[in-house]
Structure 1
Amino acid sequence: MPSCLDRAAHSALRAEFPLLEQCVYLNNNSTGAVPRGAERVLRGYWETLRTWRDDVWQDWHVGLDRYADGLAALLGAPPGSVVTDANLSTLLARVASCFDYRPPRDRVVVTDLEYPTVPFVFRAFGRYGARLTVAGTGGPRLDQDALEEQIDERTLLVCVPHASFTSGATVDLPRLVARAHQVGALVVVDAFQTVGVVPLDVTTLGVDVVLGGAHKWLCGVGTAFLYVRPDLVPQLEPAATGWQAGDRALTFQPSTGWAPGARRFAGGTPYPLTSLVSQVALDLLAEVGGAAIRRHSLALTQRLLDRADAAGITVVSPREAHRRGGVVCLDVPDGETVKRRLAARNLICSWRGYLRVGPHVYNSLDEIDEFMDALNKELGR
């Protein structure tokens, strides 16, 4: 075991995730394992439905706020600066609806390594004048120079992934934020691929907007989050909105203004179950701590890199620790078939053009070796 987690603590953590009893699970960059404590929440939710009283909404709102503020703490942000909703697409569109896309500042710059959600949403806002620019080289690694060359006084928003879903390559956020702010542009960060495995301090970075979700490295289910820099919030009024964003929402009286903080980006009636379930894993991860999770992740991904090099397998992900997220992507022949064959052996990864191997804090070096031994056999090495 890496020294950042002692054996007893690591064994206790693993015991909280039943999925690990069934397989070697290295697919956390796609969907994280869910802790057994989620079952208690689900049973409690059913009991609430079975014995329904409207008063339950008071506790549910407390639970929703607790989860949002727990995410804020994870991001180094103050309470009240994060709101949750069903998915990242919904929240991104809500942010996008805050702006008038009028010349001369009408450009939205994205990279060619972003998840398809982002360019799709901003292309839709083309009907309101948004002009989308896609920067990059088409390769698995981000060309940050090419990205920053596209950022000028006409740029309204720069939207980037903290790490690419295809390679795990991370963006140099301090450098990017400095460049964007120099010309008056705002930076929107899609942190879905990193939050929970790579520490992110939004206050220190001065980043404007961060989005992410629960079902990958946060080991939750069916919910996404939005952080907006607190001093920026008063300047933004989403056109895509709902009654919970109003200043009198919970009084059930007509609102005359916006709710304070990030809640002005809320939508309609919330769905509390996913936040309640996701809280279980957030508590477990917070107990381990972001720095320890990152050290453990780097030890596991380094073992993957070393084993791949020894086998002559092409590594697509960055080798530098500060440039890679939690996933190592391998270029292997007929990768999708290889992924299925490994799954038949209960060795679980994913394939998105490359074989993606994403160990988390509850995985071990022994599991990495077991996986790579099997991969070498599949490849005849």
Structure 2
Amino acid sequence: MTGKTLQALRAEFPLLQTCTYLNSNSTGAFPRGMEAVLQRYARTMQEWRDEVWEGWWADWHAYADAVARFIGGPPGSVVTDGNLTTLMGRLGTCFDFQGERRRVVITGLEFPTVPFLWSGFSRYGAETVVVPAEGARVDAEALCAAIDERTRIVSLCHASFATGALMDLEPVVKRAHAVGAQVVVDAYQSVGAVPIDVSALGVDFLLGGAHKWMCGSVESAFLYVRPDLTDSLRPAATGWMAGENPLTFEPARAWAPTARRLAGGTPAVLPSQLSQVGLDLLNAAGIHTIREHSLRCTARVMARADEAGLPVVTPRKDAHRAGIVTLRFPGDAQVARRLVAGGFVCSYRGGLRVAPHFYNTLEEVDLFMDRLVAEARKEAA
């Protein structure tokens, strides 16, 4: 994949013509192809016939299988819904937290959903154990040491939303499986920016969403289920789409034989149709090309920050960071607000986060950092 090809794909994102956008960790740029999907949906609703569901059913499944391919999973191993929290909560109802094996091990770098959600399962016997972060990262050895025969679930982020730190999943999965625990991975801040192969990793469950690095719809998240675990899952929070043959409209007598058994009610089809557009562009670029370009861009951000004396929170090693560089310095929140107001779009989550994607250029990174450094110096004066 050449830089010229990435430049051609850049043209598919009109937002980039209006601002300097390095905010994919919050929301990815909107591909122009989404507009045609929205127009088609509007026409469909204006001319409604029930037969539309035949095509929509196919579209919903096709996107789920396309996501599965993108992360190295087989057909039928992914189900989609409106957000990660809904899917993770539904998955949680599949587990028994009675007896000695009741612990849910999480880390101190999780998105707020994770500790809040698992704490809710304490009413069913779950006991949450938090492995604290050491600076920007959670040490894999410390995490593995917290996993023992009392552990039911290890729930951790692949990449931190706050620091961009990337977790080495392999030793965690190995340790969890050795003691009979299962691993739930939140990959929202890595999928689309970092290559993921769920089959090679052996993860039990992996969740992510479309609207950040996958350049898709805000209302689209997914759950991957390791195929050999599917038959063992009996979700208590369920709906008619989880049944074996929902479109017969007969009472469900069995769960679907695929990851669709983790579905709920009427599916959000439009978000899947919209998100397919961004996924097609990611496939056109190639995830390994995206990763190489991301590492170049984030390295440039860190180098420019170092030159200006701005502290970098994000780990330096390529293997330890995803697509985010977080800076923390006096007045960083005010600087972030002024940057956004001036058309240099980033985000603040306890630190100023800079997140270039495959559609950004090194020239843009330098332009952004020129303005960031100038604003930081103004703040310090």
Task: Report TM bin, short chain.
Answer: over 0.9
**In structure 2, what is the equivalent of residue 278 of structure 1?**
275
Whole-angstrom CA distance in 1 between matches of 2:32 and 2:115: 36
Q: Does 1:159 align with 2:158?
A: no
Is the CA contact (8 Å cut-off) linking 2:23 and 2:346 kept in structure 1?
A: yes
Is the CA contact (8 Å cut-off) linking 1:248 and 1:254 kept in structure 2?
A: no
State how 1:195-234 maps to structure 2 within 5 Å. 195-221=191-217, 222-234=219-231
Is the CA contact (8 Å cut-off) linking 1:5 and 1:296 kept in structure 2?
A: no
Aligned residue identity for 2:369:
M
Would the alpha carbon gap of residues 5 and 345 (structure 1) be closer, same or farther in structure 2, given more than 3 Å must change? farther
Name the stretch that deviates more: 341-350 or 356-365: 341-350
Aligned residue identity for 2:68:
A
Partner SS, residue 70 of structure 1: helix
Whole-angstrom CA distance in 2 between matches of 1:216 and 1:138: 26
**In structure 2, what is the equivalent of residue 171 of structure 1?**
167
Partner SS, residue 84 of structure 1: strand
| Two-structure CA RMSD over aligned residues (Å) | 1.1
**In structure 2, what is the equivalent of residue 380 of structure 1?**
377
Aligned residue identity for 2:261:
R
Q: Does 1:344 align with 2:341?
A: yes
CA-CA distance at 1:138 after TM superposition: 6.3
**In structure 2, what is the equivalent of residue 354 of structure 1?**
351
Is the CA contact (8 Å cut-off) linking 1:106 and 1:129 kept in structure 2?
A: yes
**In structure 2, what is the equivalent of residue 312 of structure 1?**
309
State how 1:101-116 maps to structure 2 within 5 Å. 101-116=97-112
Whole-angstrom CA distance in 2 between matches of 1:98 and 1:6: 46
CA-CA distance at 1:256 after TM superposition: 1.1
**In structure 1, what is the equivalent of residue 332 of structure 2?**
335
Task: Give TM-score, length-normalised by structure 1.
Answer: 0.97
Aligned residue identity for 1:208:
D
**In structure 2, what is the equivalent of residue 21 of structure 1?**
17
Is the CA contact (8 Å cut-off) linking 2:81 and 2:220 kept in structure 1?
A: yes
Unaligned runs of 5+ in 1: none
Whole-angstrom CA distance in 2 between matches of 1:126 and 1:261: 29
Whole-angstrom CA distance in 2 between matches of 1:301 and 1:112: 24
Is the CA contact (8 Å cut-off) linking 2:188 and 2:207 kept in structure 1?
A: yes
Task: Give TM-score, length-normalised by structure 2.
Answer: 0.97
Unaligned runs of 5+ in 2: none
Is the CA contact (8 Å cut-off) linking 2:136 and 2:315 kept in structure 1?
A: no
Would the alpha carbon gap of residues 138 and 322 (structure 1) be closer, same or farther in structure 2, given more than 3 Å must change? closer
Partner SS, residue 372 of structure 1: helix
State the percentage of identical aligned residues: 56
Aligned residue identity for 2:351:
Y
State how 1:12-161 maps to structure 2 within 5 Å. 12-137=8-133, 139-161=135-157
Q: Does 1:258 align with 2:246?
A: no
Name the stretch that deviates more: 226-235 or 340-349: 340-349
Aligned residue identity for 2:281:
L
Whole-angstrom CA distance in 1 between matches of 2:134 and 2:172: 19
Match for residue 185 of structure 2 among 189, 212, 224: 189
Partner SS, residue 337 of structure 1: helix
Cα deviation digits, residues 55-77 of structure 1 (max 9, x gap):
00110111111110110011000
Aligned residue identity for 1:58:
E
Aligned residues: 377
Aligned residue identity for 2:12:
E
Is the CA contact (8 Å cut-off) linking 1:194 and 1:326 kept in structure 2?
A: yes
CA-CA distance at 1:331 after TM superposition: 1.1
Whole-angstrom CA distance in 2 between matches of 1:18 and 1:353: 29
Partner SS, residue 110 of structure 1: strand
Whole-angstrom CA distance in 2 between matches of 1:378 and 1:43: 41
Is the CA contact (8 Å cut-off) linking 1:199 and 1:290 kept in structure 2?
A: yes
Aligned residue identity for 1:153:
E
Whole-angstrom CA distance in 2 between matches of 1:138 and 1:322: 17
Is the CA contact (8 Å cut-off) linking 1:296 and 1:361 kept in structure 2?
A: yes
Whole-angstrom CA distance in 2 between matches of 1:380 and 1:236: 55
**In structure 1, what is the equivalent of residue 243 of structure 2?**
246
Q: Does 1:298 align with 2:295?
A: yes
Whole-angstrom CA distance in 2 between matches of 1:11 and 1:191: 27
Aligned residue identity for 2:160:
S
Aligned residue identity for 1:362:
Y
Whole-angstrom CA distance in 2 between matches of 1:138 and 1:316: 12
Whole-angstrom CA distance in 1 between matches of 2:136 and 2:348: 14
Whole-angstrom CA distance in 2 between matches of 1:258 and 1:234: 9
Is the CA contact (8 Å cut-off) linking 2:331 and 2:376 kept in structure 1?
A: no
Whole-angstrom CA distance in 2 between matches of 1:145 and 1:14: 40
Partner SS, residue 357 of structure 2: coil
Partner SS, residue 158 of structure 1: strand
Whole-angstrom CA distance in 1 between matches of 2:91 and 2:302: 38
**In structure 2, what is the equivalent of residue 237 of structure 1?**
234
